[in-house]
């Protein structure tokens, strides 16, 4: 969503060039995996703002991506497996500490199969993990061995063999057994640069890119899908950016120098005092910086592999976020669950018309509702 100078509390920097070449469109559907997670905020970001010290009831979204011309299908992320109690002991030790709560009613494979995607028959050619953390990898054993597992580079070297062969591993060897595990090596496979990300064109038609986004975890990757294509006769190219855990909360990459806090935030995230629109200075008053052109949070915490790289990846994602034809969705953005946003989840709709439906306008500053208590105090 572009921001005009006169609409912002400070002047935005010129929009960075993304340099996305023309290409085909993909069909993209968001899957609500039924995962709901509570976790201590300090494990991921700082500072604590007001009473918002725990990330509560957060989803772990998945995406079904289909190449329209061939009907080849992949799934980007799987959320939390429903039998999460069977995760490796090393993982269970982490989520047994205070502040954690895990729930998941279904595996993604079940959600797909129940809605006419023949998972058992091999309809999903690959599952792509944004990264290997337990709330993104689901249960690969619920997919047939013909379904390839794709991850970023370094997962096998750092984490395999899995449990129980390696009692300390954070992965289950059963997720890998009998199937191809393919690691994306961006240095060897990519000549593509999208913004500040190196990228791989998955379907080789410009419809779906995998982006190297290191920092949060070894081999962390993001996805970028083109959902409308000027090459195919649409008015413009529009995109869904699948952020994985490049951020866990909107306040880790918003506002930015390209998209500062607006003078008026509409719809209002502070509804009981400002039902229609909220003045931007209300939230600027609790911003850790002097101006509204940097994120509320900085990336910090023991669950990041490399905080410097993670910070850079979030900043690179913020460049995409500032463009009005790109909708950024990070895996744990709980604001998407608000019915007033109007997101149509799989199987009821696609993300093709997200811009026309105004999703970005309703989503962009919705995370500020988490800071209302801090404003009031």
In contact, 185 and 152? CB cutoff 8 Å: no
Nearest CA to 45 out of 326, 337, 330 is that of 330
From CA 285, how far away is CA 85, in angstroms rounded?
43
Q: How many CA atoms lie within 13 A of 286 on its CB side?
A: 20
**Looking at residue 160, what is its pLDDT?**
97
The C-alpha R_g of the chain, in whole angstroms, comes to: 20
For the ranges 149-163, 279-293, 328-342, which has the lowest average pLDDT? 279-293
From CA 286, how far away is CA 16, in angstroms rounded?
28
For the ranges 27-31, 74-78, 186-190, 339-343, which has the lowest average pLDDT? 186-190
**Looking at residue 190, what is its pLDDT?**
63
CA distances from 297 to 115, 268, 293, 376 (A): 39, 21, 12, 19
Written as six digits, the tokens of 317 are 């994602």
**Looking at residue 289, what is its pLDDT?**
82
**Looking at residue 235, what is its pLDDT?**
97
In contact, 300 and 28? CB cutoff 8 Å: no
pLDDT at 258 over 90: yes
Strand partners for 209: 201, 224
**Looking at residue 2, what is its pLDDT?**
39
Largest CA distance in the chain: 60
Indicate the domain borders of the chain: 5-370
pLDDT tens column, 320-356:
999 999 999 999 999 999 999 999 999 999 999 999 9
- Residue 206 has a CB neighbour count (10 Å cut-off) of 20
Per-residue pLDDT, averaged over 254-262, amounts to 95
Nearest CA to 245 out of 326, 320, 333, 180 is that of 333
pLDDT at 275 over 90: yes
**Looking at residue 261, what is its pLDDT?**
94
**Looking at residue 191, what is its pLDDT?**
75
In contact, 298 and 315? CB cutoff 8 Å: no
pLDDT at 4 over 70: no
> Which CATH number is associated with domain 5-370?
3.60.15.10
From CA 32, how far away is CA 9, in angstroms rounded?
35
pLDDT at 6 over 90: no
Per-residue pLDDT, averaged over 80-94, amounts to 98
Written as six digits, the tokens of 224 are 């970028």
In contact, 318 and 197? CB cutoff 8 Å: no
Per the confidence metrics, is the pTM higher than 0.85?
yes
**Looking at residue 189, what is its pLDDT?**
61
DSSP assignment string, 233-250: T-SS-EEEEE-TTS-SSG
Nearest CA to 55 out of 248, 246, 255, 244 is that of 248
Query: What's the chain's average pLDDT?
Result: 95
pLDDT tens column, 183-198:
999 987 667 999 999 9
Q: Is 224 helix (H, G, I), strand (E, B) or coil?
A: strand
Question: pLDDT > 90: what percent of the chain?
Answer: 94
pLDDT band at 272 (very low <50, low <70, confident <90, very high): very high
DSSP assignment string, 145-159: TTSEEEEETTHHHHH
**Looking at residue 304, what is its pLDDT?**
98
Per-residue pLDDT, averaged over 1-12, amounts to 63
From CA 84, how far away is CA 94, in angstroms rounded?
13
Written as six digits, the tokens of 62 are 């998945």
**Looking at residue 5, what is its pLDDT?**
42
Written as six digits, the tokens of 106 are 């279904």
pLDDT at 36 over 50: yes
Q: Which residues contact 272 (CB under 8 A, 6 or more apart)?
A: none
Nearest CA to 365 out of 8, 6, 12, 5 is that of 8
């Amino acid at each position: 969503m572009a921001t005009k100078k006169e609409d912002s509390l400070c002047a935005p920097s010129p929009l960075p060039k993304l340099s996305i070449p023309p290409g085909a469109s993909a069909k993209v559907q968001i899957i609500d995996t039924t995962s709901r997670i509570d976790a201590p905020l300090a494990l991921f970001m700082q500072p604590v703002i007001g009473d918002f010290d725990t990330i509560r009831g957060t989803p772990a979204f998945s995406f079904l991506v289909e190449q329209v011309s061939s009907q080849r299908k992949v799934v980007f992320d799987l959320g939390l497996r429903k039998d999460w109690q069977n995760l490796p002991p090393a993982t269970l030790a982490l989520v047994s500490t205070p502040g954690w709560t895990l729930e998941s009613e279904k595996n993604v494979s079940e959600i797909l199969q129940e809605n006419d995607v023949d998972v058992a028959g091999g309809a999903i050619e690959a599952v792509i993990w944004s990264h290997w953390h337990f709330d993104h990898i689901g249960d690969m054993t619920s997919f047939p061995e013909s379904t390839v597992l794709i991850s970023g580079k370094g997962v096998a070297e750092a984490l395999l063999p899995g449990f129980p062969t390696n009692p300390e591993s954070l992965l289950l060897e059963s997720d890998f057994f009998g199937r191809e595990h393919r690691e994306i090596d961006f240095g060897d496979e990519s000549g593509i640069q999208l913004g500040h990300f190196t990228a791989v064109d998955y379907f080789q038609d410009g419809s779906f890119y995998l982006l190297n986004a290191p920092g949060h975890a070894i081999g962390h990757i993001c996805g970028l899908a083109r959902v409308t294509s000027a090459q195919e006769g649409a008015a413009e190219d529009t995109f869904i950016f699948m952020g994985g855990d490049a951020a866990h909360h909107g306040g880790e990459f918003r506002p930015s120098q390209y998209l500062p806090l607006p003078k008026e935030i509409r719809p209002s995230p502070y509804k009981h005092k400002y039902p229609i629109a909220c003045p931007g200075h209300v939230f600027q008053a609790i911003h850790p910086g002097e101006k509204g052109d940097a994120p509320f949070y900085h990336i910090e915490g023991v669950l990041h592999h490399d905080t410097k790289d993670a910070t850079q990846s979030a900043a690179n994602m913020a460049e995409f976020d500032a463009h009005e034809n790109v909708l950024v969705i990070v895996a744990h953005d709980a604001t998407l669950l608000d019915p007033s946003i109007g997101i149509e989840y799989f199987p009821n709709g696609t993300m093709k018309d997200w811009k026309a439906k105004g999703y970005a306008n309703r989503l962009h500053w919705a995370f500020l509702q988490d800071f209302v208590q801090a404003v009031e105090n």
